A and B are shown apart, each in its own frame.
Chain A
Amino acid sequence: MFKKILIANRGEIALRVIRTCREMGIKTVAVYSTADKDSLHVRFADEAVCIGKPPGADSYLNIPNIMAAAEITNADAVHPGYGFLAENAKFSQICADYGIKFIGPTPAMINSMGDKVTAKETMIKAGVPVVPGGHGLLENIEQAKSIAKEIGYPVILKATAGGGGKGMRLVWEESQMENSYNTAKIEAAGSFKNDGIYLEKYVEEPHHIEIQIAGDQYGNISHLSERDCSIQRRHQKLVEESPSPFMTPDLRQRMGDAARKAAQAINYESVGTIEFLVDKHRDFYFMEMNTRIQVEHCVTEEVTNFDLIKEQILIAAGRHISGKDYEPKMHAIECRINAEDPYNDFRPSPGRITTLHTPGGHGVRVDSHVYAGYVIPPYYDSMIGKLITVAQTREEAINTMYRALSEYVIEGVKTTIPFHLQLMQNEDFRNGHFTTKFLEGFKLK
């Protein structure tokens, strides 16, 4: 087992990893930018190394600095968290070159899923259903038009190196294609330095349902069932839950099998998530694979009673997994608490937290790195905590969430708590009637 793990991340996920390492008796090294000097993960870790100035490129994305920190502290493993370098094949490779275990997949696994076009081709070969679309990158507008005609509008143009909703364009009819094609390419080039785009059928009003998987170094794959992440704003998840209100035992079995096939196709090691789009007929299509631990992993932890970070570390240390699958035993919901003003288009609201009171009680979990007096730096993402509730039924989990949100006091900055409170009272949400389009029609009072 590892003696010392360096966490190449910040905020709540760094804290999350440190907590599990503490329980496992593993020493921890926190790295931090000068803006994160007073951050909780720095205080909780056994050792801390300042690795650079606030911008990501100078610190949390700076591979040489992180490797130097690992060297001077004699860390024998690195946990990359999510975001930053978590899915950076080069970083995974450099760790391997230096004899430091990267707690995640190998560079080859990351590459096979990182490029959306390659990922799709791999899935087709593995017999996993994919969204109908063109094969490979588009060469010109005429080709785009002809593929779209074949599979039928509406279609969506997507950046192959993309993420976060950038480089995407919805095209409802042929007359829009030329303009959409050109602007999608320009946006992709600007965001990812790669203007390659491809085309897919646009699955209307889909449910975003993802399957959590885990794979060991010996070819065993387990799945831990689904999370429904359909509540999204501009392709950013705000609320996640398990089980999905749209799930049936048959669908779970089919999706679980498909997820396992996807992971086996690349001989996946570590924890990961296969994201699917599910249409109203309960036909599902592979969207993408995230080769890392995800923000919403806590939801699965609460309904299956596994510590996923611990599983991830054990797998990296060479432990065999059972290969069994796990179904949700309870119902859990997670609300992402962001320092954003929901009344002003969710504008980010960094600054000093003057008062903080976190909720408690039965079925309430708070994963957060902030404290009263903490100054939220403006350089990083706006998520300041995750509130998770778990209960025996969905209705009870929602009621507990409402109660917990009402107790959650954060003053000094604006947060999305008012939005979540209203969502928990929304009739369609409470009835489980929602797709990824839900928030477009949601009016904040």
Chain B
Amino acid sequence: MDLKQIHELIKIVNKSNIGEISIEDKDGKVTIKQKEEQVVTVAAPPQQVYNVSHQPQQAQAPAPAPAAPVSAPAAKADNLITVKSPMIGTFYRRQSPDKPLLVDIGASIEPGKVLCIIEAMKLFNEIEAEIKGTIVKILVEDNSPVEFDQPLFLVEPA
């Protein structure tokens, strides 16, 4: 293969969705792979601690926010409402470790329904829904710290 052919190949690859190409000659073997799917990370405040233990920790390098652990194949509708955290503390999906999840993907919610617990300074606060709808996505991992206005749930309004 000469330089000109390689140039042509590069042009083709750049214009396409090809991520990897390997060619063996004497008229045999071509391998073409598409570009890897982009990893979806949830937009969140730039730096965040996400390891909540009550012992002093080693200094951690800032890392991306925790990725959404469960995402439903829901339509990315523009009408989805984001439920944001009204306070700072540790986010829990259950009233206590032995109790079931308060809500999960697909759960129907209406005003007053307890969606999660946020704990600060040993006080456990029940966070209630203010709208009627269905949980489409849970944006925070169980037992992780949340800040004011942090997106917690995506809800498809009823």
B47 touches A (CB below 8 Å) = yes
Among A27, A45, A65, A74, the one with the most B-chain Cβ atoms within 10 Å of its Cβ is A74
B57 touches A (CB below 8 Å) = yes
A71:B121 contact, CB within 8 angstroms: yes
Residues of A within 8 A of B49 (CB): 47, 72-74
Contact A72 to B145, CB < 8 A, known contacts A45-B47, A51-B88, A65-B87: yes
A50:B46 contact, CB within 8 angstroms: no
Contact A68 to B56, CB < 8 A, known contacts A50-B149, A51-B148: no
Consensus secondary structure, chain A interface? mixed
Nearest A-chain residue to B47, judged by Cβ: A47
Please report which residues of chain B, range 27-58, place their CB below 8 angstroms from some CB of chain A when the two chains form the complex.
Answer: 45-49, 52, 54, 56-57
Q: Which of B56, B57, B149 contacts A34 (CB 8 A)?
A: B149
A49 touches B (CB below 8 Å) = yes
B77 touches A (CB below 8 Å) = no
A73:B145 contact, CB within 8 angstroms: yes
Residues of B within 8 A of A42 (CB): 46
Residues of B within 8 A of A27 (CB): 59
B150:A50 contact, CB within 8 angstroms: yes
B120:A74 contact, CB within 8 angstroms: no
B62 touches A (CB below 8 Å) = yes
Residues of B within 8 A of A50 (CB): 45, 88, 147-150
A49:B147 contact, CB within 8 angstroms: yes
Q: What sequence of 0s and 1s flags, for each residue 106-143 of chain B, a beta carbon within 8 Å of any chain A beta carbon?
A: 00000000000000110000000000000000000000
A233 touches B (CB below 8 Å) = no
Residues of B within 8 A of A76 (CB): 56
Provide the bound-state CA to CA distance between A147 and B121, in Å: 51
Nearest B-chain residue to A72, judged by Cβ: B145
Residues of A within 8 A of B120 (CB): 64, 67-68, 71-72
| Interface size in chain A (residues, C-beta < 8 A) | 27
Residues of A within 8 A of B149 (CB): 34, 50
B48:A34 contact, CB within 8 angstroms: no
Interface residues on B, range: 20 to 34
Contact A74 to B121, CB < 8 A, known contacts A47-B48, A65-B88: no
Provide the bound-state CA to CA distance between A285 and B46, in Å: 50
Q: What sequence of 0s and 1s flags, for each residue 45-85 of chain B, a beta carbon within 8 Å of any chain A beta carbon?
A: 11111001010110100100000000000000000000000
Residues of B within 8 A of A73 (CB): 49, 145
Contact A67 to B121, CB < 8 A, known contacts A34-B149, A47-B62, A50-B147: yes
Nearest B-chain residue to A52, judged by Cβ: B148
Provide the bound-state CA to CA distance between A167 and B88, in Å: 37
Q: What sequence of 0s and 1s flags, for each residue 7-49 of chain A, a beta carbon within 8 Å of any chain B beta carbon?
A: 0000000000000000000010000001001000011011111
Consensus secondary structure, chain B interface? loop
B47:A68 contact, CB within 8 angstroms: no
Provide the bound-state CA to CA distance between A228 and B11, in Å: 70
A3 touches B (CB below 8 Å) = yes
Contact A68 to B54, CB < 8 A, known contacts A47-B48, A51-B148, A73-B49: no
Distance between B124 CB and nearest chain A CB, rounded to angstroms = 13
Distance between B88 CB and nearest chain A CB, rounded to angstroms = 4
B47:A48 contact, CB within 8 angstroms: yes
A51:B121 contact, CB within 8 angstroms: no
A68:B88 contact, CB within 8 angstroms: yes
Nearest A-chain residue to B146, judged by Cβ: A72
A72:B52 contact, CB within 8 angstroms: yes
A388 touches B (CB below 8 Å) = no
A123 touches B (CB below 8 Å) = no
A69 touches B (CB below 8 Å) = yes
Provide the bound-state CA to CA distance between A47 and B45, in Å: 10
Distance between A29 CB and nearest chain B CB, rounded to angstroms = 8
Please report which residues of chain A, range 53-70, place their CB below 8 angstroms from some CB of chain B when the two chains form the complex.
Answer: 53, 59, 64-65, 67-69
Please report which residues of chain A, range 252-276, place their CB below 8 angstroms from some CB of chain B when the two chains form the complex.
Answer: none
Q: Which of B56, B62, B121 contacts A3 (CB 8 A)?
A: B56
Residues of B within 8 A of A34 (CB): 148-149
Q: Which of B45, B57, B59, B89 contacts A68 (CB 8 A)?
A: B89
Further pairs besides A49-B88, A74-B54: 10, Cβ < 8 Å? A37-B45, A45-B47, A48-B47, A50-B148, A53-B148, A64-B120, A68-B87, A68-B88, A71-B120, A74-B49
- Can you list 27 A-B pairs with a CB-CB distance of less than 8 A? A37-B45, A42-B46, A46-B59, A46-B62, A47-B47, A49-B145, A49-B147, A49-B148, A50-B147, A50-B150, A51-B88, A51-B147, A51-B148, A53-B148, A65-B88, A68-B87, A68-B88, A69-B88, A71-B89, A72-B49, A72-B88, A72-B90, A72-B145, A74-B49, A74-B56, A74-B57, A76-B56
The 7 closest A-B pairs by CB, nearest first: A72-B145, A68-B120, A68-B88, A50-B147, A50-B148, A49-B147, A47-B47
